[in-house]
Amino acid sequence: MPGGRLTQQERQRIAAGLAHGLSYAEIARRLDRPTSTISREVARNGGPGGYRPEQAHRETVQRARRGTPVPPRAAEAPGSTVEAEIIELAVRTGLPRMTARVHLDLLLSEDGRRTAAELTRRLRVSPASVSVAVNYLVQHGYVRRERDPQRRRDIYVIDDDAWYHSIVISSRQTLDSAQAAIAGAETLGLDSPVGQRLTRAGTFLERISLDMMESADRWRSLLA
């Protein structure tokens, strides 16, 4: 495994990987570098949305020539690394990277509220990117949309009850898939190999989704 500082070419490959939504682990694998090296590199140079390979390389070279350490905001900002790791975990579970970034920014806000303009400014991304992300989050119950009638703008809110709604929505979607599988089995014939396979899958998914919804209702009081 190569050691030493990242090269300019490696930084360009990191930027390309981020642009294509690759996880830090996948980028690290392609560069034959530790994942921690990639996460620190990105965290100290603008984060996933603000990483600029040329600027990162130039500042690293300048620091090396001066013999100065990484600026305190990068070296002493464990929160940045933690946030990057949380985003990576969300991406590995299937959440789009931009959606994960928006979700985390809402989670870490003081009152759990942001406008689209605030998200755009804070994450340094386009309004269109924020729009796609918040629509996904609203659709899946992670956040809710409120309307500010005085300023004619939407406010996106995340609260404790969002966890309940996201679980219920996900479980209902799984239940719909289960029922579709069972219906398909009946159409194709319950005694046929395909029908039997669909029946087993549908029954399994149906039980799991119902259990999840029942559990969410049972433990919802913990969020109060």
pTM over cut 0.85: no
Q: State pLDDT tens for residues 103-137.
A: 999 998 888 999 999 999 999 899 999 999 999 99
The percent of residues above 90 in pLDDT, for the chain, comes to: 50
218 CB burial (10 A radius; 0-12, 13-18, 19+): exposed
| pLDDT score of 75 | 42
Q: State pLDDT tens for residues 150-159.
A: 888 899 999 8
Instruction: Specify the DSSP class assigned to residue 143.
Output: S
SS3 string, 51-96, reads: CCHHHHHHHHHHHHHHCCCCCHHHHCCHHHHHHHHHHHHHHHCCCC
As a whole number, mean pLDDT of residues 55-84 equals 64
